[in-house]
Amino acid sequence: MAYKYLTTYAVCVLAITLWCVLSNASPLNINLE
């Protein structure tokens, strides 16, 4: 059960990180264009 909880937590952290990166990258791409 511990592994399942840690895996779920890791997926959530990665999802939030990717969302932040994409959100920050979008304005940069628009400015470059």
Report the pLDDT value the prediction gives residue 12, as an integer from 0 to 100: 95
CA distances for 33 relative to 9, 15, 28, 30, angstroms: 36, 27, 9, 5
Report the pLDDT value the prediction gives residue 9, as an integer from 0 to 100: 96
Per-residue pLDDT of the chain (33 residues; tens, 9 = 90+): 788 999 999 999 999 998 888 877 666 565 655
CA distances for 31 relative to 2, 3, 23, angstroms: 44, 42, 13
Report the pLDDT value the prediction gives residue 22, as an integer from 0 to 100: 81
Torsion of CA 7, 12, 17, 18, to 10 degrees: 90
Alpha helices in 1-33 (DSSP H): 2-32
Report the pLDDT value the prediction gives residue 2, as an integer from 0 to 100: 87
pTM of the model: 0.57
